[in-house]
């Protein structure tokens, strides 16, 4: 899956879960400042990324996530990791 495909999935997740217009979501978009997500939303997003990748996210790996690009990078790393 390419970064662009991952970004599209993240847009779908943010749109479905948080009612955010997909056309307002870009890699540089900040989750907390621009999209008004809170810590509970971040947990929900982490769960959805886990479902998307089929891999578990360690909480410490998601603590540094601040932008949509960070979510894409995390998803890519999870998909590339072997079990």
Tens of pLDDT, residues 1-22 = 899 999 999 999 999 999 999 9
Task: Report how far residue 44's alpha carbon sits from residue 51's, in angstroms, rounded to the nearest whole number.
Answer: 11
**DSSP label of 10:** H
pTM: 0.90
Contact 17, 43 (CB under 8 A): no
Task: Report how far residue 67's alpha carbon sits from residue 16's, in angstroms, rounded to the nearest whole number.
Answer: 18
Answer whether residue 83 shows pLDDT above 80: no
Domains within the chain, CATH numbers bracketed? 3-80 (1.10.1200.10)
Instruction: Supply the pLDDT for residue 82.
Output: 65
Tens of pLDDT, residues 46-73 = 999 999 999 998 888 788 999 999 999 9
**Strand residue runs (E) in the chain:** none
Token readout for 25 is 């979501």
Task: Report how far residue 50's alpha carbon sits from residue 58's, in angstroms, rounded to the nearest whole number.
Answer: 10
């Amino acid at each position: 899956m390419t970064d662009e495909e991952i970004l599209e999935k993240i847009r779908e997740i943010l749109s479905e879960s948080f009612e955010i217009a997909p056309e307002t979501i870009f890699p540089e978009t900040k989750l907390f400042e621009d999209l008004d997500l809170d810590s509970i939303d971040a947990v929900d997003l982490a769960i959805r990324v886990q479902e998307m990748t089929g891999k578990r996210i360690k909480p410490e790996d998601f603590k540094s996530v601040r932008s949509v690009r960070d979510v894409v990078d995390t998803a890519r790393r999870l998909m590339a990791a072997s079990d």
